[in-house]
Structure 1
Amino acid sequence: MKIIIFGTGSYAESLLSRINKDDVEIIAASDNNSDKWWTSWHGIDIIPPYKLKEYEFNYILVASMYTKDIVEGLLDMGLDIREIICTYNQYEINFEHNKILRHIFNMGEKHKIALISSI
C-alpha cells in the first residue's frame, strides 16, 4: 500500500513511528506550510499539496489537528474522499477506513467477547 502523509507537525511525528513499514510505503509527505516544501522529513520528501495528484498512491493519511481544513482543501483540489484517511479525532472515518488504519498501523482485528451469565 502506498500512502502520502499530510502533515509534518508533532501529531504526524507521533504517528510516523507506528506505521507498519513492512506493508506500507510512504511515498511522500505534504504540508500546507510552504517553508517545508521540497525539503525532507525523516528521509521523506515534502511536496506541496498542489502536486499530490501527480503521485500514484492508495491513500492520503491526514496526520494533523487541522483535519477539517485539510480535507476541505483536498476535496477542492478534486481528490476523492475515499482516498483520504483521517486520524485526528476520527474525523469522517467510516468502517472501511478503520480497517485500512488497522492495516497501516499493524493493529490487527479487534475482537469482542461477550460474557453471558444466568443464576
Structure 2
Amino acid sequence: MSENNVMGELPWTNSKQDDKVWLASSFRVVLFKTGIEKAGSVNQLGRELGYRSRVHPGWSVRQIMLGKQPFPLDRLKVFAEYLDMPLDEILRHRTMPTAVTLASTKKALIDSGMHYHLP
C-alpha cells in the first residue's frame, strides 16, 4: 500500500480517529525539519506547539516526527499556522497508521539530512 493516501479514501470515519492524524513519512519529516529550523530547536518547536513540559517540551514533537504517535489535530492546526501553511495542504498527506513504518521514517530522515534523529 502506498504511504500517501487522499484523506477521502481513508477507511475510518469516526470522530475519535479524525482528531488523530498520521502523515506520510516523507512529508512529515520535511514538515518537522522546516518547523525545527524556524523554531531553532526541537524543544522550542514543542513550546510553539503548546507542549509545556519543563524538562523536555520537544518529547512529543520527536515522537510524532518519528511516527511513533499520531499528530493531534488541534496541534496540527497550530503547526500549520506556525509554518504559514494551509491545513488542507498538510492533510493531503494523511495516511493510514499501518503505512507509517520504521523503514519509511528512517529513509525520510536520511533523505532530509536529519540522520541525527534516527531512532
User: Is TM > 0.5 for Structure 1 vs Structure 2?
Assistant: no
Q: Name whichever structure is richer in strand by fraction.
A: 1
Higher helix share: 2
TM-score where L is the length of structure 1: 0.27
RCO comparison, higher one (Cα < 8 Å, 6+): 2
